[in-house]
A and B are shown apart, each in its own frame.
Chain A
Amino acid sequence: MIRVLVQPDVLDVAAEFDLHDAGGPGASASFIGRVRGEGGLVELFLEHHPVLTGAGLVDLAHAASDRWGLAAVTLIHRVGAMAPGETIVLVLASSSHRGEALAATEYLIDRLKTDVMLWKRETFADGRTQWVEPREGDDGRAERWG
Protein backbone atom coordinates (compact mmCIF):
# COMPACT_ATOMS: atom_id res chain seq x y z
CA MET A 1 0.00 0.00 0.00
CA ILE A 2 1.33 3.41 -0.95
CA ARG A 3 0.03 6.42 0.92
CA VAL A 4 1.26 9.90 -0.05
CA LEU A 5 0.01 13.21 1.33
CA VAL A 6 1.00 16.88 0.99
CA GLN A 7 -0.90 18.72 3.68
CA PRO A 8 -1.04 21.98 5.65
CA ASP A 9 -2.63 20.19 8.64
CA VAL A 10 -0.70 19.07 11.69
CA LEU A 11 0.73 15.60 11.15
CA ASP A 12 -0.62 12.96 13.55
CA VAL A 13 2.30 10.55 13.68
CA ALA A 14 0.59 7.94 15.87
CA ALA A 15 -2.48 7.80 13.64
CA GLU A 16 -0.31 7.48 10.54
CA PHE A 17 1.68 4.63 12.11
CA ASP A 18 -1.59 2.80 12.78
CA LEU A 19 -2.78 3.26 9.20
CA HIS A 20 0.57 2.23 7.78
CA ASP A 21 0.95 -0.90 9.88
CA ALA A 22 -2.52 -2.22 9.14
CA GLY A 23 -1.04 -4.88 6.85
CA GLY A 24 1.34 -6.19 9.49
CA PRO A 25 4.59 -6.67 7.50
CA GLY A 26 7.61 -8.04 9.35
CA ALA A 27 9.79 -4.93 9.44
CA SER A 28 8.85 -1.25 9.53
CA ALA A 29 11.36 1.60 9.48
CA SER A 30 10.54 5.25 10.06
CA PHE A 31 11.98 8.73 9.72
CA ILE A 32 10.41 11.71 11.44
CA GLY A 33 11.67 15.19 10.52
CA ARG A 34 10.88 18.03 12.92
CA VAL A 35 11.33 21.79 12.74
CA ARG A 36 14.52 22.80 14.57
CA GLY A 37 14.14 25.91 16.73
CA GLU A 38 17.75 27.04 16.41
CA GLY A 39 18.91 30.65 16.26
CA GLY A 40 15.65 32.20 17.40
CA LEU A 41 13.56 30.58 14.69
CA VAL A 42 9.84 31.22 15.23
CA GLU A 43 8.34 29.92 11.98
CA LEU A 44 9.27 27.63 9.14
CA PHE A 45 7.23 28.08 5.98
CA LEU A 46 7.15 25.38 3.31
CA GLU A 47 6.35 26.52 -0.21
CA HIS A 48 5.35 23.89 -2.75
CA HIS A 49 4.20 23.51 -6.33
CA PRO A 50 0.47 22.76 -6.40
CA VAL A 51 0.89 19.90 -8.87
CA LEU A 52 4.52 18.86 -9.08
CA THR A 53 5.20 18.42 -5.37
CA GLY A 54 2.60 15.70 -4.94
CA ALA A 55 3.56 14.06 -8.21
CA GLY A 56 7.22 14.03 -7.16
CA LEU A 57 6.39 12.34 -3.85
CA VAL A 58 4.27 9.72 -5.60
CA ASP A 59 7.12 8.99 -8.03
CA LEU A 60 9.54 8.62 -5.13
CA ALA A 61 7.25 6.29 -3.21
CA HIS A 62 6.80 4.05 -6.24
CA ALA A 63 10.52 4.04 -7.01
CA ALA A 64 11.34 2.91 -3.46
CA SER A 65 8.56 0.36 -3.42
CA ASP A 66 9.73 -1.17 -6.70
CA ARG A 67 13.42 -1.10 -5.81
CA TRP A 68 13.08 -2.81 -2.42
CA GLY A 69 9.87 -4.76 -2.95
CA LEU A 70 8.13 -2.98 -0.08
CA ALA A 71 4.85 -4.06 1.45
CA ALA A 72 3.91 -0.48 2.36
CA VAL A 73 5.16 3.09 2.00
CA THR A 74 3.84 6.17 3.74
CA LEU A 75 5.20 9.56 2.69
CA ILE A 76 3.67 12.67 4.22
CA HIS A 77 5.05 16.20 3.88
CA ARG A 78 3.60 19.27 5.48
CA VAL A 79 3.41 22.61 3.67
CA GLY A 80 2.65 26.11 4.88
CA ALA A 81 3.60 27.62 8.24
CA MET A 82 4.81 25.55 11.17
CA ALA A 83 6.46 26.14 14.55
CA PRO A 84 9.63 24.67 16.09
CA GLY A 85 9.07 21.10 17.27
CA GLU A 86 6.31 20.32 14.79
CA THR A 87 6.68 17.34 12.50
CA ILE A 88 7.40 18.43 8.94
CA VAL A 89 7.90 15.07 7.23
CA LEU A 90 7.10 11.43 7.95
CA VAL A 91 8.57 8.49 6.05
CA LEU A 92 7.46 4.92 6.79
CA ALA A 93 8.60 1.85 4.88
CA SER A 94 7.71 -1.76 5.55
CA SER A 95 8.97 -5.01 4.15
CA SER A 96 9.45 -8.62 5.18
CA HIS A 97 12.96 -7.92 6.52
CA ARG A 98 14.68 -4.94 8.09
CA GLY A 99 17.36 -4.30 5.46
CA GLU A 100 14.93 -3.28 2.74
CA ALA A 101 12.81 -1.16 5.08
CA LEU A 102 15.81 0.74 6.48
CA ALA A 103 17.43 1.33 3.09
CA ALA A 104 14.17 2.49 1.53
CA THR A 105 13.56 4.94 4.38
CA GLU A 106 17.00 6.49 3.99
CA TYR A 107 16.61 6.64 0.21
CA LEU A 108 13.26 8.38 0.50
CA ILE A 109 14.43 11.13 2.84
CA ASP A 110 17.66 11.68 0.89
CA ARG A 111 15.79 12.03 -2.40
CA LEU A 112 13.16 14.25 -0.82
CA LYS A 113 15.84 16.85 -0.18
CA THR A 114 16.84 17.21 -3.82
CA ASP A 115 14.08 15.87 -6.06
CA VAL A 116 10.78 17.21 -4.73
CA MET A 117 9.60 20.77 -5.30
CA LEU A 118 9.60 22.16 -1.78
CA TRP A 119 11.29 25.29 -0.47
CA LYS A 120 11.82 26.34 3.16
CA ARG A 121 11.67 29.91 4.44
CA GLU A 122 12.75 30.69 7.99
CA THR A 123 11.41 33.56 10.09
CA PHE A 124 13.30 34.60 13.23
CA ALA A 125 12.25 36.40 16.42
CA ASP A 126 13.84 39.65 15.23
CA GLY A 127 11.67 39.61 12.08
CA ARG A 128 14.43 38.48 9.73
CA THR A 129 13.46 35.98 7.04
CA GLN A 130 15.63 33.83 4.80
CA TRP A 131 15.18 31.03 2.31
CA VAL A 132 17.03 27.88 3.31
CA GLU A 133 19.89 26.99 1.00
CA PRO A 134 20.59 23.35 0.15
CA ARG A 135 23.14 21.88 2.55
CA GLU A 136 26.47 20.82 1.26
CA GLY A 137 26.21 17.08 1.01
CA ASP A 138 22.50 16.89 0.19
CA ASP A 139 23.28 16.30 -3.49
CA GLY A 140 25.93 13.75 -2.65
CA ARG A 141 23.61 11.83 -0.34
CA ALA A 142 20.89 11.79 -2.99
CA GLU A 143 23.20 10.81 -5.83
CA ARG A 144 24.77 7.83 -4.10
CA TRP A 145 21.52 5.94 -4.70
CA GLY A 146 22.12 6.10 -8.46
Chain B
Amino acid sequence: MIAAYLILLLSFGGIVYFALMGHKEEIGRHNVWFNGIALFLSLWLAIEVFNSGTLLSSSQYFIVDSFNVYLIVLTAFVGLTTAIFSDPYMDHEKQLGKLTDSRLKLYYSMYQGFMFAMYLVLTTNNMGILWVAMEAATLATVLLVSLYRTPESVEAAWKYFILCGVGIAQALFGTILLYYAAMQIGDTENSLMWSVLFDNAERLSPDILEIAFVFMLVGYGTKIGLVPLHNWLPDAHSEGPTPMSAVLSGLLLNDALYAVVRNKMLVDGATGSNIAGLQMMGFGLLSFLVAAFFLHRQKDIKRLFSYSSIEHMGMMTFAFGIGTPFATFAALLHMTVHSLTKSAIFVTVGHAAQIAGTQRIEKIRGLIRTQPKVGWGLLIGTLAIAGFPPFGVFTSEFLVLLATMESYPWLTPLLLLGIGIACAGLFRNIQPMVYGDRPDGQQAIKANLWPVMIHLTIVLWLGLAIPNALADWFTQATILISGSAPL
Protein backbone atom coordinates (compact mmCIF):
# COMPACT_ATOMS: atom_id res chain seq x y z
CA MET B 1 0.00 0.00 0.00
CA ILE B 2 2.91 2.33 0.71
CA ALA B 3 3.77 2.20 -2.98
CA ALA B 4 0.32 3.60 -3.84
CA TYR B 5 0.77 6.53 -1.45
CA LEU B 6 4.24 7.15 -2.85
CA ILE B 7 2.94 7.25 -6.42
CA LEU B 8 0.30 9.82 -5.45
CA LEU B 9 2.82 11.87 -3.50
CA LEU B 10 5.33 11.71 -6.32
CA SER B 11 2.96 12.93 -9.00
CA PHE B 12 1.55 15.60 -6.69
CA GLY B 13 5.08 16.71 -5.93
CA GLY B 14 5.65 16.79 -9.68
CA ILE B 15 2.94 19.42 -10.16
CA VAL B 16 4.58 21.70 -7.60
CA TYR B 17 8.12 20.90 -8.77
CA PHE B 18 7.54 21.80 -12.40
CA ALA B 19 5.40 24.81 -11.52
CA LEU B 20 8.11 26.29 -9.28
CA MET B 21 11.21 25.23 -11.16
CA GLY B 22 12.58 28.03 -13.29
CA HIS B 23 13.07 27.09 -16.89
CA LYS B 24 15.90 24.68 -17.45
CA GLU B 25 17.05 22.86 -20.52
CA GLU B 26 16.60 19.46 -18.93
CA ILE B 27 13.01 20.02 -17.73
CA GLY B 28 11.79 17.31 -20.11
CA ARG B 29 14.29 14.82 -18.78
CA HIS B 30 13.15 15.49 -15.21
CA ASN B 31 9.64 14.65 -16.32
CA VAL B 32 10.96 11.33 -17.64
CA TRP B 33 12.54 10.65 -14.26
CA PHE B 34 9.35 11.41 -12.38
CA ASN B 35 7.40 9.00 -14.55
CA GLY B 36 10.16 6.40 -14.42
CA ILE B 37 10.05 6.32 -10.64
CA ALA B 38 6.26 6.08 -10.80
CA LEU B 39 6.56 3.05 -13.07
CA PHE B 40 8.98 1.44 -10.64
CA LEU B 41 6.59 2.09 -7.74
CA SER B 42 3.64 0.74 -9.69
CA LEU B 43 5.52 -2.50 -10.35
CA TRP B 44 6.28 -2.74 -6.67
CA LEU B 45 2.56 -2.28 -5.98
CA ALA B 46 1.71 -4.94 -8.56
CA ILE B 47 4.03 -7.46 -6.93
CA GLU B 48 2.49 -6.68 -3.57
CA VAL B 49 -1.01 -7.30 -4.92
CA PHE B 50 0.19 -10.41 -6.70
CA ASN B 51 1.50 -11.85 -3.42
CA SER B 52 -1.19 -10.83 -0.98
CA GLY B 53 -4.36 -10.11 -2.96
CA THR B 54 -6.57 -7.04 -2.55
CA LEU B 55 -5.02 -4.23 -0.52
CA LEU B 56 -7.30 -1.93 1.45
CA SER B 57 -5.79 0.98 3.34
CA SER B 58 -6.59 1.13 7.04
CA SER B 59 -8.63 4.32 6.55
CA GLN B 60 -10.48 2.50 3.74
CA TYR B 61 -9.85 5.46 1.44
CA PHE B 62 -7.65 3.54 -0.98
CA ILE B 63 -8.09 0.16 -2.55
CA VAL B 64 -5.83 -1.72 -4.91
CA ASP B 65 -7.11 -4.99 -6.30
CA SER B 66 -6.41 -7.09 -9.36
CA PHE B 67 -8.71 -4.92 -11.50
CA ASN B 68 -7.10 -1.54 -10.93
CA VAL B 69 -3.51 -2.60 -10.31
CA TYR B 70 -2.89 -3.52 -13.92
CA LEU B 71 -4.39 -0.22 -15.00
CA ILE B 72 -2.02 1.55 -12.60
CA VAL B 73 0.95 -0.20 -14.19
CA LEU B 74 -0.39 0.58 -17.64
CA THR B 75 -0.89 4.24 -16.69
CA ALA B 76 2.63 4.51 -15.34
CA PHE B 77 4.07 2.77 -18.39
CA VAL B 78 2.28 4.90 -20.98
CA GLY B 79 3.04 7.95 -18.85
CA LEU B 80 6.73 7.14 -18.98
CA THR B 81 6.99 6.38 -22.69
CA THR B 82 4.96 9.47 -23.56
CA ALA B 83 7.26 11.52 -21.35
CA ILE B 84 10.25 10.12 -23.23
CA PHE B 85 8.58 11.11 -26.49
CA SER B 86 7.48 14.55 -25.36
CA ASP B 87 10.98 15.68 -24.35
CA PRO B 88 12.39 16.07 -27.92
CA TYR B 89 8.93 16.78 -29.33
CA MET B 90 8.28 19.79 -27.13
CA ASP B 91 11.81 21.06 -27.70
CA HIS B 92 11.13 20.93 -31.44
CA GLU B 93 7.85 22.82 -30.96
CA LYS B 94 9.72 25.43 -29.00
CA GLN B 95 12.29 25.81 -31.74
CA LEU B 96 9.45 26.39 -34.20
CA GLY B 97 8.39 29.25 -31.94
CA LYS B 98 5.00 27.74 -31.12
CA LEU B 99 5.69 27.75 -27.40
CA THR B 100 7.33 29.95 -24.82
CA ASP B 101 9.26 28.86 -21.75
CA SER B 102 6.39 29.56 -19.38
CA ARG B 103 3.98 27.51 -21.52
CA LEU B 104 6.47 24.67 -21.41
CA LYS B 105 6.54 24.91 -17.63
CA LEU B 106 2.74 24.83 -17.60
CA TYR B 107 2.82 21.83 -19.89
CA TYR B 108 5.07 19.74 -17.65
CA SER B 109 3.32 20.81 -14.48
CA MET B 110 -0.08 19.86 -15.88
CA TYR B 111 1.33 16.63 -17.30
CA GLN B 112 2.06 15.62 -13.72
CA GLY B 113 -1.32 17.00 -12.65
CA PHE B 114 -3.00 14.75 -15.17
CA MET B 115 -0.98 11.75 -13.98
CA PHE B 116 -1.90 12.55 -10.38
CA ALA B 117 -5.60 12.67 -11.26
CA MET B 118 -5.32 9.36 -13.11
CA TYR B 119 -3.60 7.62 -10.20
CA LEU B 120 -6.21 9.02 -7.83
CA VAL B 121 -9.05 7.77 -10.04
CA LEU B 122 -7.51 4.32 -10.02
CA THR B 123 -6.56 3.97 -6.36
CA THR B 124 -9.44 5.63 -4.54
CA ASN B 125 -12.07 3.53 -2.84
CA ASN B 126 -14.52 6.41 -2.44
CA MET B 127 -16.98 6.89 -5.29
CA GLY B 128 -17.18 10.61 -4.55
CA ILE B 129 -13.41 11.06 -4.73
CA LEU B 130 -13.46 9.07 -7.94
CA TRP B 131 -15.75 11.72 -9.40
CA VAL B 132 -13.63 14.57 -8.05
CA ALA B 133 -10.48 13.05 -9.56
CA MET B 134 -12.18 12.50 -12.90
CA GLU B 135 -13.20 16.16 -12.99
CA ALA B 136 -9.72 17.17 -11.87
CA ALA B 137 -8.31 15.30 -14.88
CA THR B 138 -10.47 17.48 -17.15
CA LEU B 139 -9.29 20.63 -15.42
CA ALA B 140 -5.64 19.56 -15.67
CA THR B 141 -5.83 18.86 -19.39
CA VAL B 142 -8.07 21.70 -20.48
CA LEU B 143 -5.24 24.24 -20.43
CA LEU B 144 -3.03 21.82 -22.32
CA VAL B 145 -5.52 21.53 -25.15
CA SER B 146 -5.33 25.30 -25.62
CA LEU B 147 -1.54 25.31 -25.17
CA TYR B 148 -0.82 26.74 -28.63
CA ARG B 149 -3.43 29.51 -28.17
CA THR B 150 -4.57 29.35 -31.78
CA PRO B 151 -8.27 30.17 -32.30
CA GLU B 152 -8.90 26.51 -33.14
CA SER B 153 -7.22 25.22 -30.01
CA VAL B 154 -9.08 27.71 -27.80
CA GLU B 155 -12.32 26.58 -29.38
CA ALA B 156 -11.46 22.92 -28.88
CA ALA B 157 -10.51 23.51 -25.26
CA TRP B 158 -13.70 25.42 -24.58
CA LYS B 159 -15.85 22.65 -26.06
CA TYR B 160 -13.89 20.05 -24.11
CA PHE B 161 -14.27 22.01 -20.89
CA ILE B 162 -18.00 22.62 -21.27
CA LEU B 163 -19.03 19.26 -22.64
CA CYS B 164 -16.96 17.18 -20.23
CA GLY B 165 -17.79 19.41 -17.27
CA VAL B 166 -21.51 19.26 -17.92
CA GLY B 167 -21.41 15.62 -18.88
CA ILE B 168 -19.59 14.55 -15.81
CA ALA B 169 -21.99 16.58 -13.63
CA GLN B 170 -24.56 13.92 -14.54
CA ALA B 171 -22.25 11.32 -13.02
CA LEU B 172 -22.22 13.30 -9.77
CA PHE B 173 -26.01 13.15 -9.70
CA GLY B 174 -25.70 9.39 -10.14
CA THR B 175 -23.21 9.26 -7.30
CA ILE B 176 -25.58 11.22 -5.05
CA LEU B 177 -28.34 8.71 -5.81
CA LEU B 178 -25.92 5.90 -5.04
CA TYR B 179 -25.12 7.50 -1.71
CA TYR B 180 -28.83 7.90 -1.03
CA ALA B 181 -29.38 4.20 -1.70
CA ALA B 182 -26.46 3.35 0.59
CA MET B 183 -27.78 5.52 3.40
CA GLN B 184 -31.01 3.58 3.46
CA ILE B 185 -29.13 0.52 4.63
CA GLY B 186 -27.32 2.45 7.36
CA ASP B 187 -23.65 3.10 8.05
CA THR B 188 -23.39 6.70 6.93
CA GLU B 189 -19.68 7.16 7.60
CA ASN B 190 -18.38 4.79 4.94
CA SER B 191 -21.41 4.73 2.68
CA LEU B 192 -19.57 5.87 -0.41
CA MET B 193 -16.72 3.39 -0.03
CA TRP B 194 -16.77 1.08 -3.00
CA SER B 195 -15.66 -1.95 -0.95
CA VAL B 196 -18.49 -1.40 1.56
CA LEU B 197 -21.04 -0.90 -1.20
CA PHE B 198 -19.80 -3.98 -3.05
CA ASP B 199 -20.09 -6.16 0.06
CA ASN B 200 -23.65 -4.97 0.64
CA ALA B 201 -24.68 -4.73 -3.00
CA GLU B 202 -27.63 -7.13 -2.66
CA ARG B 203 -29.21 -4.91 -0.04
CA LEU B 204 -29.10 -1.73 -2.12
CA SER B 205 -32.37 -0.66 -3.67
CA PRO B 206 -32.38 -1.89 -7.30
CA ASP B 207 -34.79 0.87 -8.41
CA ILE B 208 -32.50 3.63 -7.26
CA LEU B 209 -29.37 2.02 -8.63
CA GLU B 210 -30.89 1.49 -12.05
CA ILE B 211 -31.62 5.20 -12.33
CA ALA B 212 -28.25 6.11 -10.83
CA PHE B 213 -26.48 3.98 -13.42
CA VAL B 214 -28.13 5.80 -16.32
CA PHE B 215 -26.68 9.06 -15.00
CA MET B 216 -23.27 7.49 -14.39
CA LEU B 217 -23.14 5.99 -17.87
CA VAL B 218 -24.05 9.28 -19.52
CA GLY B 219 -21.65 11.17 -17.26
CA TYR B 220 -18.57 9.02 -17.45
CA GLY B 221 -19.61 8.05 -21.00
CA THR B 222 -18.94 11.64 -22.05
CA LYS B 223 -15.38 11.10 -20.88
CA ILE B 224 -15.11 7.71 -22.59
CA GLY B 225 -16.18 9.46 -25.78
CA LEU B 226 -19.31 7.44 -26.42
CA VAL B 227 -21.48 8.61 -29.31
CA PRO B 228 -23.43 10.98 -29.19
CA LEU B 229 -21.39 12.59 -26.41
CA HIS B 230 -18.12 12.33 -28.29
CA ASN B 231 -17.91 15.74 -29.98
CA TRP B 232 -15.20 17.12 -27.72
CA LEU B 233 -12.84 14.22 -28.35
CA PRO B 234 -11.70 14.70 -31.97
CA ASP B 235 -11.39 18.46 -31.42
CA ALA B 236 -9.36 18.16 -28.24
CA HIS B 237 -7.13 15.50 -29.77
CA SER B 238 -6.47 17.33 -33.00
CA GLU B 239 -5.77 20.76 -31.52
CA GLY B 240 -3.82 19.88 -28.39
CA PRO B 241 -0.13 18.97 -28.32
CA THR B 242 0.44 15.43 -29.56
CA PRO B 243 1.79 13.90 -26.32
CA MET B 244 -1.51 14.98 -24.76
CA SER B 245 -3.43 13.05 -27.42
CA ALA B 246 -1.37 9.98 -26.59
CA VAL B 247 -2.19 10.10 -22.88
CA LEU B 248 -5.81 11.17 -23.42
CA SER B 249 -6.46 8.23 -25.75
CA GLY B 250 -4.26 5.78 -23.91
CA LEU B 251 -5.23 6.61 -20.33
CA LEU B 252 -8.12 9.00 -19.74
CA LEU B 253 -10.65 7.07 -21.80
CA ASN B 254 -9.65 3.81 -20.08
CA ASP B 255 -10.01 5.30 -16.64
CA ALA B 256 -13.44 6.69 -17.40
CA LEU B 257 -14.47 3.23 -18.56
CA TYR B 258 -12.96 1.86 -15.36
CA ALA B 259 -15.29 4.15 -13.37
CA VAL B 260 -18.31 2.87 -15.30
CA VAL B 261 -17.33 -0.76 -14.77
CA ARG B 262 -16.86 -0.22 -11.01
CA ASN B 263 -20.38 1.18 -10.87
CA LYS B 264 -21.73 -1.60 -13.04
CA MET B 265 -20.42 -4.14 -10.53
CA LEU B 266 -22.54 -2.49 -7.83
CA VAL B 267 -25.65 -2.30 -10.01
CA ASP B 268 -25.26 -5.94 -11.05
CA GLY B 269 -25.11 -6.94 -7.40
CA ALA B 270 -28.20 -4.93 -6.52
CA THR B 271 -30.43 -5.82 -9.45
CA GLY B 272 -29.23 -9.37 -9.99
CA SER B 273 -29.65 -8.84 -13.74
CA ASN B 274 -27.57 -7.45 -16.55
CA ILE B 275 -29.69 -4.36 -17.13
CA ALA B 276 -26.67 -2.08 -16.75
CA GLY B 277 -24.77 -4.22 -19.22
CA LEU B 278 -27.50 -3.92 -21.83
CA GLN B 279 -27.26 -0.13 -21.70
CA MET B 280 -23.51 -0.34 -22.09
CA MET B 281 -23.89 -2.70 -25.04
CA GLY B 282 -26.25 -0.35 -26.83
CA PHE B 283 -24.12 2.72 -26.23
CA GLY B 284 -20.93 0.86 -27.10
CA LEU B 285 -22.22 -0.66 -30.31
CA LEU B 286 -23.57 2.69 -31.49
CA SER B 287 -20.22 4.40 -30.82
CA PHE B 288 -18.36 1.59 -32.54
CA LEU B 289 -20.39 1.76 -35.73
CA VAL B 290 -20.71 5.54 -35.97
CA ALA B 291 -16.98 6.06 -35.39
CA ALA B 292 -16.14 3.42 -38.04
CA PHE B 293 -18.09 5.39 -40.63
CA PHE B 294 -16.62 8.72 -39.54
CA LEU B 295 -13.11 7.36 -40.14
CA HIS B 296 -13.79 7.69 -43.85
CA ARG B 297 -14.34 11.42 -43.97
CA GLN B 298 -11.48 12.75 -41.89
CA LYS B 299 -9.00 15.24 -43.31
CA ASP B 300 -6.83 15.66 -40.24
CA ILE B 301 -4.55 12.81 -39.22
CA LYS B 302 -5.08 13.27 -35.49
CA ARG B 303 -8.86 13.44 -35.90
CA LEU B 304 -8.63 10.21 -37.87
CA PHE B 305 -7.03 8.37 -34.98
CA SER B 306 -9.25 9.98 -32.38
CA TYR B 307 -12.23 8.48 -34.17
CA SER B 308 -10.40 5.19 -34.08
CA SER B 309 -10.19 5.64 -30.29
CA ILE B 310 -13.95 6.19 -30.10
CA GLU B 311 -14.44 3.04 -32.13
CA HIS B 312 -12.28 0.94 -29.82
CA MET B 313 -13.73 2.43 -26.64
CA GLY B 314 -17.14 1.56 -28.04
CA MET B 315 -16.06 -2.03 -28.52
CA MET B 316 -14.70 -2.26 -24.97
CA THR B 317 -17.87 -0.76 -23.51
CA PHE B 318 -19.83 -3.29 -25.54
CA ALA B 319 -17.68 -6.18 -24.31
CA PHE B 320 -17.90 -5.13 -20.66
CA GLY B 321 -21.64 -4.79 -21.23
CA ILE B 322 -22.02 -8.40 -22.35
CA GLY B 323 -20.76 -9.19 -18.89
CA THR B 324 -19.89 -12.85 -19.31
CA PRO B 325 -16.48 -13.79 -17.86
CA PHE B 326 -15.17 -14.48 -21.33
CA ALA B 327 -16.26 -11.08 -22.66
CA THR B 328 -14.84 -9.34 -19.61
CA PHE B 329 -11.49 -11.02 -20.12
CA ALA B 330 -11.51 -9.91 -23.75
CA ALA B 331 -12.39 -6.35 -22.76
CA LEU B 332 -9.55 -6.19 -20.22
CA LEU B 333 -7.09 -7.42 -22.83
CA HIS B 334 -8.47 -5.00 -25.40
CA MET B 335 -8.07 -2.12 -22.94
CA THR B 336 -4.38 -2.96 -22.55
CA VAL B 337 -3.49 -3.48 -26.20
CA HIS B 338 -5.51 -0.49 -27.35
CA SER B 339 -3.75 1.83 -24.88
CA LEU B 340 -0.34 0.61 -25.94
CA THR B 341 -1.04 0.71 -29.67
CA LYS B 342 -2.90 4.01 -29.68
CA SER B 343 -0.28 5.88 -27.69
CA ALA B 344 2.42 4.48 -30.01
CA ILE B 345 0.43 5.66 -33.02
CA PHE B 346 0.00 9.16 -31.64
CA VAL B 347 3.75 9.35 -31.05
CA THR B 348 4.46 8.49 -34.71
CA VAL B 349 1.65 10.76 -35.88
CA GLY B 350 3.26 13.59 -33.94
CA HIS B 351 6.56 13.01 -35.74
CA ALA B 352 4.83 12.63 -39.10
CA ALA B 353 3.05 15.94 -38.60
CA GLN B 354 6.33 17.60 -37.68
CA ILE B 355 8.03 16.20 -40.80
CA ALA B 356 5.26 17.42 -43.09
CA GLY B 357 4.68 20.61 -41.11
CA THR B 358 0.93 20.03 -41.16
CA GLN B 359 -1.75 17.68 -39.89
CA ARG B 360 -3.74 17.67 -43.14
CA ILE B 361 -3.83 14.12 -44.48
CA GLU B 362 -3.63 15.21 -48.12
CA LYS B 363 -0.39 17.12 -47.47
CA ILE B 364 1.43 14.34 -45.60
CA ARG B 365 3.13 12.22 -48.23
CA GLY B 366 6.06 9.89 -48.71
CA LEU B 367 6.93 9.26 -45.09
CA ILE B 368 8.88 6.08 -45.80
CA ARG B 369 11.10 7.92 -48.25
CA THR B 370 11.71 10.83 -45.92
CA GLN B 371 12.22 9.02 -42.67
CA PRO B 372 11.69 5.27 -42.95
CA LYS B 373 11.39 4.71 -39.20
CA VAL B 374 8.42 7.06 -38.89
CA GLY B 375 6.78 5.67 -42.00
CA TRP B 376 7.11 2.07 -40.94
CA GLY B 377 6.07 2.93 -37.40
CA LEU B 378 2.86 4.50 -38.66
CA LEU B 379 2.16 1.61 -41.01
CA ILE B 380 2.79 -1.11 -38.45
CA GLY B 381 0.88 0.79 -35.79
CA THR B 382 -2.09 1.10 -38.13
CA LEU B 383 -1.87 -2.59 -38.99
CA ALA B 384 -1.96 -3.35 -35.28
CA ILE B 385 -4.87 -1.04 -34.46
CA ALA B 386 -6.92 -2.25 -37.43
CA GLY B 387 -6.78 -5.73 -35.89
CA PHE B 388 -4.45 -7.57 -38.21
CA PRO B 389 -2.91 -10.77 -36.86
CA PRO B 390 -0.52 -11.43 -35.20
CA PHE B 391 -0.94 -8.25 -33.13
CA GLY B 392 -2.66 -8.22 -29.74
CA VAL B 393 -5.60 -6.18 -31.00
CA PHE B 394 -6.48 -9.06 -33.28
CA THR B 395 -6.52 -11.47 -30.35
CA SER B 396 -8.73 -9.29 -28.20
CA GLU B 397 -11.13 -8.41 -31.02
CA PHE B 398 -11.34 -12.08 -31.89
CA LEU B 399 -12.18 -12.91 -28.27
CA VAL B 400 -14.84 -10.18 -28.22
CA LEU B 401 -16.34 -11.67 -31.37
CA LEU B 402 -16.34 -15.17 -29.85
CA ALA B 403 -17.95 -13.87 -26.69
CA THR B 404 -20.60 -12.10 -28.74
CA MET B 405 -21.32 -15.28 -30.68
CA GLU B 406 -21.77 -17.08 -27.40
CA SER B 407 -24.27 -14.64 -25.92
CA TYR B 408 -25.77 -12.51 -28.69
CA PRO B 409 -24.97 -14.27 -31.99
CA TRP B 410 -27.13 -11.90 -34.05
CA LEU B 411 -24.89 -8.95 -33.13
CA THR B 412 -21.74 -10.54 -34.55
CA PRO B 413 -22.35 -9.47 -38.17
CA LEU B 414 -22.66 -5.85 -37.01
CA LEU B 415 -19.31 -6.08 -35.23
CA LEU B 416 -17.64 -7.67 -38.25
CA LEU B 417 -19.10 -5.00 -40.49
CA GLY B 418 -17.77 -2.27 -38.19
CA ILE B 419 -14.29 -3.78 -38.09
CA GLY B 420 -14.25 -4.04 -41.89
CA ILE B 421 -15.42 -0.46 -42.43
CA ALA B 422 -12.94 0.88 -39.89
CA CYS B 423 -10.08 -1.04 -41.46
CA ALA B 424 -10.94 0.34 -44.90
CA GLY B 425 -11.25 3.84 -43.47
CA LEU B 426 -7.83 3.69 -41.89
CA PHE B 427 -5.99 2.27 -44.85
CA ARG B 428 -7.39 4.48 -47.55
CA ASN B 429 -5.96 7.40 -45.59
CA ILE B 430 -2.75 5.82 -44.36
CA GLN B 431 -1.56 4.24 -47.60
CA PRO B 432 -0.81 7.48 -49.55
CA MET B 433 0.74 9.08 -46.46
CA VAL B 434 3.21 6.27 -45.94
CA TYR B 435 4.03 5.51 -49.57
CA GLY B 436 3.68 8.04 -52.33
CA ASP B 437 6.20 10.57 -53.53
CA ARG B 438 8.17 12.65 -51.17
CA PRO B 439 7.36 16.37 -51.50
CA ASP B 440 10.26 18.68 -52.33
CA GLY B 441 12.33 19.83 -49.44
CA GLN B 442 10.83 17.47 -46.88
CA GLN B 443 13.45 16.79 -44.23
CA ALA B 444 13.84 14.09 -41.61
CA ILE B 445 13.60 15.40 -38.05
CA LYS B 446 15.14 14.41 -34.77
CA ALA B 447 12.78 11.76 -33.48
CA ASN B 448 12.79 9.34 -30.63
CA LEU B 449 11.03 6.19 -31.74
CA TRP B 450 12.01 3.92 -28.87
CA PRO B 451 8.61 4.27 -27.18
CA VAL B 452 6.87 3.23 -30.40
CA MET B 453 9.05 0.18 -30.87
CA ILE B 454 8.67 -0.94 -27.26
CA HIS B 455 4.89 -0.51 -27.35
CA LEU B 456 4.44 -2.29 -30.65
CA THR B 457 6.74 -5.13 -29.57
CA ILE B 458 4.64 -5.66 -26.46
CA VAL B 459 1.45 -5.60 -28.53
CA LEU B 460 2.98 -8.14 -30.91
CA TRP B 461 4.06 -10.28 -27.98
CA LEU B 462 0.57 -10.15 -26.47
CA GLY B 463 -0.79 -11.25 -29.81
CA LEU B 464 1.51 -14.24 -30.06
CA ALA B 465 1.39 -15.36 -26.44
CA ILE B 466 0.01 -13.84 -23.29
CA PRO B 467 2.53 -14.34 -20.46
CA ASN B 468 1.23 -16.53 -17.66
CA ALA B 469 1.53 -13.85 -15.00
CA LEU B 470 -0.53 -11.41 -17.05
CA ALA B 471 -3.14 -14.03 -17.90
CA ASP B 472 -3.47 -14.84 -14.19
CA TRP B 473 -3.92 -11.17 -13.50
CA PHE B 474 -6.66 -10.77 -16.09
CA THR B 475 -8.31 -13.93 -14.80
CA GLN B 476 -8.36 -12.61 -11.25
CA ALA B 477 -9.76 -9.29 -12.43
CA THR B 478 -12.38 -11.16 -14.43
CA ILE B 479 -13.39 -13.17 -11.37
CA LEU B 480 -13.71 -9.92 -9.45
CA ILE B 481 -15.81 -8.20 -12.11
CA SER B 482 -18.03 -10.97 -13.39
CA GLY B 483 -17.97 -13.59 -10.69
CA SER B 484 -16.19 -16.51 -12.33
CA ALA B 485 -13.13 -17.42 -14.35
CA PRO B 486 -13.23 -16.96 -18.14
CA LEU B 487 -12.43 -20.55 -19.05
**Pair from one complex:** no
Interface residue ranges, A against B (CB under 8 Å):
none
